[in-house]
Structure 1
Amino acid sequence: MTELLGPGDLARAAALLRDGRLVAFPTETVYGLGGDATNAEAVAGIFAAKGRPHFNPLICHYPSAEAAFADVLADERAHRLAAQFWPGALTLVLPRAAACRVDLLAGAGLDTLAVRVPANPLARALLREVGVPVAAPSANRSGQVSPTTAAHVLDGLGGRIAAVVDGGPCTVGVESTVLDLAGNGPEGAAVLLRPGGVPAEAIEALLGPIGRALPVAAAAATASLRSPGLLLSHYAPGLPVRLDAISLAPDEALLAFGRPLPGAALAWNLSERGDLQEAAARLFAGLRWLDAEGTRRGCRGIAVMPVPETGLGAAINDRLARAAAPRG
């Protein structure tokens, strides 16, 4: 059963989040499906609950700009935007800081992180109570209409999450604007990845002209998304990736699932017990570790054992297929 909590139950909601459970809560834009962004299995649970088909990066929510900027490298533009629009319906995509607390899965394995400080006072009070960054995409099943009331959340996710905090209807009703400041536009220009609650014109009044990302259809049909918006990612391991391996070459590292193939000198097991949620939680850390350690040991590639195409397996296989795609 999904608990229905009220504004007076924030300590209960925070305790559930710290315990790795999923809690939906209101923001000014839409209700978010919250999970501890530092807990890989909680983040994997968000994808599982939503039935999200790809590991798109999630927006991490914070109670203040100071807290958000502890996990990313904020430039002068970011500080100006935060002063103008935070708390509010603006998400900034920035490079991860070296000491970033957020698990790689929340950022889809990329070197950037999407951060926001919501304007809803109840949301910020909950975030202060939790004390960790909270990853929170819209609290609906993937592909369904975003929820703006607690009843909408229960209609789609009732019985799939621990609790929803009822804070009444959302005031904005559309998702946040997503702006990439990670230097991926022409000459490092800011790029609008997703229009939303803060108009692009208001941003341009502060920063000057900003770029525009690919249209939705074009971005979705190509590679992994860089943020909850629409710019392409570029992360893939340096070592070539070979899928559906049933045997190993002597110079290959192994990304295992279940009982590992014999003979691997270097291996990372996504889940020895064959649990797809655990595998999702360990995917990006495993790819990065095998890439770095395999390169150091002279490996020439990463062999990946088959992963079932059910549940989160579809998202895992999607990301692995992108990692294995021919390099341009």
Structure 2
Amino acid sequence: MTQTETSSLAPDAEGLARAAEILRGGGLVAFPTETVYGLGADACNDRAVAAIYEAKGRPSFNPLIAHFPSAEAAQAYVQWSDAADMVAAAFWPGPLTLVLPLRAGCGISRLVTAGLETLAVRVPAAPLARDLLERVGGPVAAPSANRSGQISPTRPEHVLAGLSGRIDAVVNAGRCDVGLESTILGLAGRPTLMRPGGIPREALEKALGRRVAERREAEAIAAPGQMASHYAPRAGMRLNAAEWQPGETRLGFGKVDCDLNLSRAGDLTEAAANLFEYLHRLDAEGAEVIAVSPVPHVGLGVAINDRLSRAAAPRD
């Protein structure tokens, strides 16, 4: 692809105005949400969306999330429902993506939906992100701002390490608060957890007043983040390591002797916020094999283990 100079924009009115101008003009801008940095493009512009796939090296069958400044803005592009109302009222703005039937004639690029008849929509909690989306005045497709399959970025320097020269600009606003992508809830049929994330399944079930099904791995990809190998560092990985082996770099959880600890206090929220940054750090330090302590498979631990299992999956 053609190399371009990637601008670093300040997180102020002038920087956001310039970022919105670039997006409306068909360019690519990385911007922070409360979860990770997203790589934004006009979701109604086929060429702009195609540029996301090119910059990331992303498989074309993996759908993208469309970001909006409000639930009302999102409703113009999807067929809304009572269930969507319930969870949006509880968790939007926030780290929750809803997959709903696409509204006919809404103008969303088919590259965003990867040819599906559904659209993944989200209203981010970060005020800066919503400010930018308001300035753009239309949906912004924004997967994580990293090369496809690599570790998701929680800082602007992570974005630049993978995408400098491949995108037009990054809004430099420091570290993201959550550090783990959004939960994806499918609402095109029975409520289905399509990707665990910052909002646990139990909280969704409480808001809906009913059980949320889980997607089976054998099912076709129907939402972002469902590739088997994803979030992968260059190093090999060994999960659920109760003991360390010679030559391994040790990524711990809880009160263990290790090289880097996701949360010595055993706090899953802290571990989620640190996960991608620590994988980046160990990768940059030249780790050959990263051994990871067991992480409890409850609450946010489900999402953490999902990311770790994808990071450790066989690579093509």
User: Given the two structures, how large is their TM-score scaled by the length of structure 2?
Assistant: 0.68
Does residue 128 of structure 1 match 2:134? yes
**Residue among 1, 11, 16 paired with 2:17:** 11
Does residue 78 of structure 1 match 2:79? no
- Note the alpha carbon deviations across 1:259-295, whole angstroms, 9 max, x for none: xxxxxxxxxxxxxxxxxxxxxxxxxxxxxxxxxxxxx
Between the aligned partners of 2:205 and 2:226, the Cα distance in structure 1 is 19
- SS at 1:7 equivalent: coil
Q: How many residues align?
A: 220
Q: Residues 284-299 of structure 1 correspond to what in structure 2 (within 5 A)?
A: none
Partner of 2:63: 57
Instruction: Find the structure with the greater CA-based Rg.
Output: 1
CA-CA distance at 1:166 after TM superposition = 1.0
CA-CA distance at 1:229 after TM superposition = 4.7
Greater shift, 46-55 or 76-85, is seen at: 46-55
User: Which amino acid counterpart does residue 4 of structure 1 have in structure 2?
Assistant: S
Contact 2:34–2:124 (Cα < 8 Å) also in 1: yes
Partner of 2:224: 228
- Note the alpha carbon deviations across 1:223-261, whole angstroms, 9 max, x for none: 4x1111549xxxxxxxxxxxxxxxxxxxxxxxxxxxxxx
CA-CA distance at 1:87 after TM superposition = 0.2
Partner of 2:277: none
Partner of 1:199: 200
- SS at 1:146 equivalent: coil
Contact 1:214–1:230 (Cα < 8 Å) also in 2: no
Q: Residues 107-146 of structure 1 correspond to what in structure 2 (within 5 A)?
A: 107-146=113-152
Q: Residues 137-156 of structure 1 correspond to what in structure 2 (within 5 A)?
A: 137-156=143-162
Between the aligned partners of 1:229 and 1:74, the Cα distance in structure 2 is 23
The verdict on how the C-alpha distance between 1:193 and 1:229 changes in structure 2, with shifts beyond 3 A counting, is farther
Partner of 2:230: none
Partner of 2:214: 212
CA-CA distance at 1:26 after TM superposition = 0.1
Partner of 1:35: 41
Q: Which runs of 5+ in 2 are unaligned?
A: 228-316
- Note the alpha carbon deviations across 1:205-224, whole angstroms, 9 max, x for none: 11221110023xx45xxx4x
CA-CA distance at 1:100 after TM superposition = 1.5
- SS at 2:184 equivalent: strand
**Residue among 165, 168, 172 paired with 1:162:** 168
- SS at 2:93 equivalent: coil
Matched residues, percent identical?
62
Between the aligned partners of 1:131 and 1:179, the Cα distance in structure 2 is 25
- SS at 1:66 equivalent: helix
Between the aligned partners of 1:130 and 1:53, the Cα distance in structure 2 is 26
CA-CA distance at 1:55 after TM superposition = 2.6
Contact 1:47–1:55 (Cα < 8 Å) also in 2: no
Contact 2:60–2:114 (Cα < 8 Å) also in 1: no
- SS at 2:84 equivalent: helix
Partner of 1:45: 51
User: Given the two structures, how large is their TM-score scaled by the length of structure 1?
Assistant: 0.66
Between the aligned partners of 2:106 and 2:215, the Cα distance in structure 1 is 26
Greater shift, 27-36 or 91-100, is seen at: 91-100
Does residue 99 of structure 1 match 2:105? yes
